[in-house]
Structure 1
Amino acid sequence: MKKLAISILLTLVTIVAAGCGSAADQKSLKIGIRGSESRTWEFVKEQAAKQGLAIELVQFNANVNPNTVLLEGEIDANAFQHVAFLDQFNTKNNSEIVPVGSTIIAPLGIYSDKYKKIEEIPDGAKIALPNDDSNWGRSLLLLQEAGLIKVVDNFDGFGGQDKIKENPKKLEIVPVDPATTPRVMKDVAASIINNGTAVEAGFLLKDSIFHESKTAKPYINVIATTKQNENREELKKLVAVYQSKEVSDFITQTYKGNYIPTQVTVEELKNFKDAFKSKP
């Protein structure tokens, strides 16, 4: 009887230990996102679960910077920004948040309810654009690609009136809060609208009269984390899931061309400023 009791006790200890080990070994990540890509991330969450990776999605509104939350250790990674925005945040905050994988390009577009072609925009017209530094600079590159202005020779990707070298049509640049760029269309000749904002406002990329292509490299969106966590196996698995054919097909079909899936190396992401060197 004594031997039987010891045997049962050892079995129970083994079961409890095994259960604890299973919980400790469970792979999980807490990812901070914003609303415009929530459908994609719900699908990513489903795909990751099939591979034994549990994802908890934390939604943030425009009043909360997921980079700050990441630095505070409340989440493991975030996915809401392009590399130029991330670089600006790191510079301003002396932080070291790094990209671990690319997700999408959300092409910036010029939208107008008055003109159907970029060539129709008249001299002296008002052009609204987002007033945050990185998207302001991105908008200037887009206007340059459209043949409306030229930026300075040493352009660094960030915006401001002083970054315009040539403005032959004497366009009036009107910086506004990014969220209001769709609403001000009635007051300007054209408005440059961030893709996520355009989607929320009911626009498709094909509705724009011009959208970026060559200028997009610095604006590839990324999954980002802190420097000390960049080699976590869970994050590598997450990137692989996001860049899978299943997720790429889902993005293409769901967003009807507004978001373009991308697969570039982390090295390319970190060297994004090289894209500015070839600008005229």
Structure 2
Amino acid sequence: MKKILLLALTALAAIALAACGGGESTGSSEKVIKIGVNGADGPQWPVMVELAKEEGITLEVVEFTDYILPNKALAAGDIDLNAFQTISFFSNFVTETGEDLVPIGTTVFAPLGIYSEKITSLDDLQKGDKVAIPNDASTLPRALKLLQEAGVLELSDDFGITGDETKITSNPLELEIIPMEPQQTARVLPDVTIALINNGVATQAGLTPAEDAIYFENTESETVEPYINIIAAQAEDADNEDYLKIVELYHTQEVEMQLTKSLKEVNLSSVRQQKKQQQYLKIC
């Protein structure tokens, strides 16, 4: 855990904008903080609201249904923080838009999962099967790497974290890889053999990732650092004491216990599923 945290903080430092390094800590004049999330994507938020209240902060959780609006809302000042995205996704957004946003802390690593309504194991894939993957610049390469990790296909040595389908060097089953908007990956489950679905999208679709995914990323791998989730703020608020308090609260025992409890409440019926559940989520 500490190793992942150190790696995450190193990655955060690498992508933070120059404005992150300066100013004095001023705190918030109002004790109302709006934090954007991608749907009600976790049992931690009611706990966070109560913990913030004990600190004299009213934490308002604002739900979004896609992966673009939370950053746009943050840049526009409609919300104060957001907590929905990976380091990689955030870095791509800032690079592409030039918005003056910075990461101020890490939250969790939630593995990307492979889901299916047609098969229960990747060993059951057949020639020509359809595979839905998210098409955004950070998750598409992540999805292809996961398929390689699962032994489904092979990628070129120079794939890196920005590769795409042109870097597939071996696809023995001639699978049809279909990139699409992340929100669509869950909706097309009936029409494809497997779909690689982001954690938040899966939850919104009524899936329980720790139970329903037939395969997901290894939380112990050193390749997961770009996919650790963060809390982001406007650059001018990088040292805001109240915002940093929210980051601190996320890492309390109460939040960790709630996340762990939510996994234990999943109806797991086999030893294999229990092992999946234990490996599923890490607070970073």
TM-score range, shorter chain: 0.7 to 0.9
1:225 aligns with 2:233: yes
Matched ranges for 1:124-273 at <5 A: 124-158=128-162, 160-204=164-208, 205-213=210-218, 214=221, 215-255=223-263, 256=266, 257=277, 260-263=281-284
Deviations 1:93-135 (A, max 9, x none): 1234221111122211111222222122123322111222222
The one-letter code of the counterpart of 1:239 is V
Unaligned runs of 5+ in 2: 1-27, 267-276
Deviates more, 1:60-69 or 1:137-146: 60-69
Higher helix share: 1
**Paired residue for 2:90, among 73, 83, 86?**
86
Deviates more, 1:48-57 or 1:154-163: 154-163
Shift of 1:90: 0.7
Deviations 1:6-39 (A, max 9, x none): xxxxxxxxxxxxxxxxxx8654422222313264
**Paired residue for 1:41, among 45, 56, 59?**
45
Match of 2:112 in 1: 108
8 Å Cα contact 2:66/2:183 also seen in 1: no
Could you say if the C-alpha distance between residues 63 and 149 of structure 1 is closer, same or farther in structure 2, counting changes exceeding 3 Å?
closer
The one-letter code of the counterpart of 1:206 is E
8 Å Cα contact 1:252/1:261 also seen in 2: no
Could you say if the C-alpha distance between residues 159 and 34 of structure 1 is closer, same or farther in structure 2, counting changes exceeding 3 Å?
same
Distance in 1, Cα, partners of 2:282 & 2:57:
21
Could you say if the C-alpha distance between residues 64 and 153 of structure 1 is closer, same or farther in structure 2, counting changes exceeding 3 Å?
closer
Shift of 1:140: 0.5
The one-letter code of the counterpart of 1:124 is G
Q: Which runs of 4+ in 1 moved over 3 A?
A: 24-28, 255-259
Q: Percent identity?
A: 39
Shift of 1:64: 5.6
Distance in 1, Cα, partners of 2:29 & 2:82:
22
8 Å Cα contact 1:251/1:259 also seen in 2: no
Deviations 1:197-226 (A, max 9, x none): 222223222322211113533211111112
Distance in 2, Cα, partners of 1:102 & 1:63:
18
Distance in 2, Cα, partners of 1:26 & 1:62:
28
Deviates more, 1:200-209 or 1:243-252: 200-209
Deviates more, 1:87-96 or 1:208-217: 208-217
Distance in 1, Cα, partners of 2:68 & 2:170:
36
Rg (Cα) greater in structure: 1
Match of 2:14 in 1: none
Which one has more relative contact order, counting CA pairs under 8 Å at least 6 apart? 2
Unaligned runs of 5+ in 1: 1-23, 264-280
The alignment covers a number of residue pairs equal to 240
Could you say if the C-alpha distance between residues 186 and 54 of structure 1 is closer, same or farther in structure 2, counting changes exceeding 3 Å?
closer
Deviates more, 1:238-247 or 1:33-42: 33-42
Distance in 2, Cα, partners of 1:216 & 1:65:
25
Distance in 2, Cα, partners of 1:63 & 1:84:
13
Shift of 1:75: 2.2
The one-letter code of the counterpart of 1:232 is N
Deviates more, 1:166-175 or 1:154-163: 154-163
Deviates more, 1:70-79 or 1:156-165: 156-165
Q: TM-score, normalised by structure 1?
A: 0.77
